[in-house]
Chain A
Amino acid sequence: MNSIPFLLPLLGGLTLGLGALWLLYSLGRVAGISGIAWGALAGPDRDWRWRFLAGLLGGGVVTHWLFELPLPAESTAPLGLLISSGLLVGFGTRFGGGCTSGHGVCGIGRRSPRSMIATLLFMVSGMLTVYVIRHVLGGGV
C-alpha cells in the first residue's frame, strides 16, 4: 500500500477531511488547528479543544502502529530558523485568523472568499520563502 504513489496522501486527506466534517456536524466547530490550540490555552470552552488535541496525537500514534509507518526524521533546521518559523506561524495564524486547516480545508469548504484569499497568500508566500532559502541563498533544510 505504501508503494502506490499518491494513495496515502489522498487517503490521508480524505480522513482528515472526515474529521473536520465530524467536528462541524457533532459540535458545530471549525477544525482550525491554530484556533483550537490557542483556545485550548486561552479559553473559553477549553474542554473540547483539549480533547481534540489529545485525539490528534492519539490518531498519530494509532496510525503509525496500524500502518507500520516509519517515523519521519527530525528536522535539521537550526535553532534560529526554528524559533523564527514558530514565531511567524503563531503570530501570522492568529493575526490572519487561520492556518492550513482552518482557512485551507474548512474555510474553502464553506466557500468563504476570505479563506480562499488567505490560502492563496500563504501558499504563495510559503513557496517564495522556500525559493529564496533554497535557490537564492542556497541554504535551509
Chain B
Amino acid sequence: MKAWSAIAAGMLFGAGLTLSGMSDPLKVLGFLDVSGDWIPDLALVMGGALLLSAAATPWILKRPAPRFASQFHVPTIRSIDQRLAIGAILFGVGWGLSGYCPGPAIVSLLYGYQSTMIFCLAMVAGMLLEAALRRSKIA
C-alpha cells in the first residue's frame, strides 16, 4: 500500500490537471491575461483544490504521523524574505512567457510535443543554476 501511495497521489494530481484543462498553456495564459479575453478556469481549479486543501490539511497535520511514514515533512521556514519574493516574481515572469508551470509542463510531456520537452529541459537547467548559486554562496 505504501508503494502505491505516491503513484495514487500523482495520478489524482495528473488527472485533476488534465481534466481542468491546465495542460493547455493557452488556457493558463488566458487566465493571466486579465485585460484581454479573460479565461477564469485557473481560478476555479485553484478554488476547488484550496477548498479541500484548506479544509482537511489542518486535520491531517494534527495526526501524530502520516499513515505510511514516520513523520510529516512540512516546510518549517516562516520568514518572508527577499529570497521568497524574488523567486516568486521570477517564477511568475517565466510562467507568463509560456503559460507553463511545473505540474502542467510535466503532464504535457505525454503529448510528445518538442516545445514541452524544450521547456522542461530549460526548467531543469534553471533548477541546476539555482543549486549552483546556492552552493557557491555557502562555499
Contacts and interface: CB of A to CB of B under 8 A. Distances in A.
B12 A90 contact: no
Contact of B9 (A22, A41, A107): A22
Given A53-B10, A96-B88, A86 B23 contact: no
A56 B7 CA distance: 8
Interface residues of B, number: 111
Contact of A128 (B13, B15, B96): B96
Given A17-B52, A24-B66, A131 B129 contact: no
B89 A121 contact: yes
Main secondary structure of the interface of B (DSSP, over half): helix
A114 B115 contact: no
A124 to B, nearest CB: 7
Interface in B19-65: 19-27, 29, 32-36, 40-42, 44-54, 56-58, 60-61, 63, 65
A79 B118 contact: yes
A131 B99 contact: no
Interface residues of A, number: 107
Contact of A55 (B13, B57, B72, B101): B13
A13 B73 contact: no
Contact of B84 (A6, A28, A48, A114): A114
B103 A33 contact: yes
Contact of B96 (A59, A110, A127): A127
A106 B35 CA distance: 28
Contacts of A109: 50, 52-54, 57
Interface of A: 6, 8-31, 33-34, 37-38, 41-42, 48-49, 51-64, 67, 69, 71-75, 77, 79, 81-97, 99-101, 103-114, 117-119, 121-131, 133-135, 140-141
18 contacts: A9-B40, A16-B16, A25-B66, A25-B67, A26-B68, A27-B6, A52-B6, A52-B7, A59-B16, A59-B18, A61-B110, A82-B119, A90-B129, A91-B126, A100-B103, A117-B84, A126-B93, A126-B96
